[in-house]
Chain A
């Protein structure tokens, strides 16, 4: 099986984050955590065993009790008193409640799922594919980032060479000041290398697509208008208070209009930028299947959200209750695992 397209993994990450923001129910978070753990282990590299590939899972699990205990000890609200911490210790002394424990537990689970989701994304999307996702409008930024990523190993090697050369000359690293003899040559050689690289870039016809040959005025006003519309749409509840009309519904349309106006210049600059691809990332049939499964998951969650499923929102306050669990919502999360199972274990990088 081929590696899934980077865009599929990007959609996957966005979907996981969206579900976390929508459903702060500990049961759903546990189900999500388990699915991500399975994906994480399943997509491990061939050299890794199940146990050493899952170290991030164990590390992130540590956050859950930490967050729960911290909240239990520092938050003293709620009806279900578990025990009393005597004395006058600032922050800590007072009642420890079940509500605080569950709230801390939920917070810890949210953090753990977020960290695992990003770790899974980092594992499955190589750096070069991630850089290729940078839109054409950020042509210069993509090249700068590519240069930096490419030259990091060379810079590390150079650092070691300078260190060895200085050691041969009898230079000893006794204090922080002694690093001067390493950092300065490293910086100078990096900048000298930048010169050679600039010549290569010029020889290959590098130029910025919009500057200084074209006016950026229109694009800049579009960015500005987009930012203003995004702000107005986002904070429309507040803005609407000062208006004579009652149009609370206008917030979301304004926000999305702002996003479109903000993105138009990127699309225009992107069209101007010529781009040559030496390693084009192919889109396979499995990518369509992966995208389809993610879409089904998203549609499922949206439909439950539209019907205001009570199990989606949960808070232990004001009184501690057992969270509800809708098995169909739990089943919807299965779609998140499809990209991993379609792809299999990566055999690259």
Chain B
């Protein structure tokens, strides 16, 4: 195994470990009573604080960002990322000033398309930093920020996984590609809300058929979350999902064309080493050409 491959694998290890830690921080409140086997699970829950959740998720986001920043290692990619984030933050700024219906947000469209075009690391950067920068300009820095950055980063990172699929199916530049992205936008519109709910849901108390209680098994937890989601989030998240579909449907094709054009200008890909012919090669070639011309 070459050194480059080992480097690549170690990078994947960091991404996977950070992601698993982040995902675990979302679900750990559900696991505590079962794992500790305490006679009084409520007491354990009381000592577990949402602050710890924010801290662990923050560490996970830092781990992911340390890898993702390698996606913008050249001056061109840094400038490109900065400009795309600025454009996306303006969209969020407009959304905060003139709120759309429910969870509608125009920012995911550019995050998905950036990840799809420029790859997983770059997609994560655009997703996470859009939320960070727009939180700075709208005064939205809060304990919810790490979970927003983590989830939005994953929206961009996961979109990169569609690119090989689209290539394999021969859909690049065709309607099938837009169909794939529409599907992805719709799924993430719902999934984003479902994940973001988890940062508060286990810490809330309320009706037994909608809220989690310590000691519940997986099926009951999922069932209650399903009821809670249907009652409080579905309509909200559907508008986000439809917003993503609308934006990708209307602007996806044109935006992809522009991003690809700039990708060719921003990213140089040397597929084969350029061999400079030696002096003897040049001389023999010249002689051969001269002989052929003579003949």
The residues of A with any CB-CB pair to B shorter than 8 Å are 17-18, 20-21, 70-71, 74-76, 90-91, 103, 107, 114-115, 118-119, 121-122, 127, 130-131, 137-138, 140-141, 143-152, 154-156, 159, 176-177, 179-180, 183-184, 186-188, 190-191, 193-195, 197-199, 201-202, 206-208, 211-212, 215-217, 220-221, 223-224, 227-228, 230-231, 234-235, 237-238, 241, 259, 262, 265-266, 313, 315, 317
| Residue in chain B with minimal CB distance to A135 | B62
What distance in Å separates the Cβ of A147 from its nearest Cβ neighbour in chain B? 3
A223 to B21, CA, bound (A): 12
| Residue in chain A with minimal CB distance to B88 | A148
A148–B133 CB distance below 8 A: yes
The residues of B with any CB-CB pair to A shorter than 8 Å are 3, 6-7, 10-11, 13-14, 17-18, 21, 24, 28, 31, 35-37, 42, 46, 49-52, 56, 59-60, 63, 65-66, 69-70, 72-76, 78-87, 89-90, 93, 125, 129, 132-133, 136-137, 139, 141-143, 204-207, 209-210, 231, 246, 250-251, 254-255, 258, 262, 265-266
A87 to B205, CA, bound (A): 22
Inter-chain contacts of B132 with A (CB < 8 A): 145
Interface centre among A198, A202, A228, A230 (most CB of B within 10 A): A198
A-B contact count (CB 8 A): 228
Additional A-B contacts beyond A140-B73, A208-B73, A227-B14 (7; CB < 8 A)? A147-B79, A176-B250, A184-B254, A190-B83, A195-B79, A216-B10, A224-B13
A132 to B245, CA, bound (A): 37
A21-B51, A191-B262 given; A235·B75 CB < 8 A:
no
A193 to B83, CA, bound (A): 8
Inter-chain contacts of A215 with B (CB < 8 A): 3, 7
A190-B87, A197-B83, A216-B10 given; A228·B17 CB < 8 A:
yes
B254–A211 CB distance below 8 A: no
What distance in Å separates the Cβ of A308 from its nearest Cβ neighbour in chain B? 13
14 A-B contact pairs sorted by A residue (CB < 8 Å): A21-B52, A74-B210, A90-B207, A152-B89, A152-B133, A179-B250, A191-B258, A202-B75, A216-B7, A227-B17, A230-B21, A234-B56, A241-B35, A262-B63
A118-B142, A180-B251, A201-B75 given; A230·B136 CB < 8 A:
no
Inter-chain contacts of B11 with A (CB < 8 A): 216, 220
Inter-chain contacts of A217 with B (CB < 8 A): 3, 6-7, 10
What distance in Å separates the Cβ of A113 from its nearest Cβ neighbour in chain B? 11
B79–A190 CB distance below 8 A: no
B141–A122 CB distance below 8 A: yes
B136–A127 CB distance below 8 A: yes
Inter-chain contacts of B136 with A (CB < 8 A): 127, 130-131, 145, 149
Inter-chain contacts of A149 with B (CB < 8 A): 86, 133, 136-137
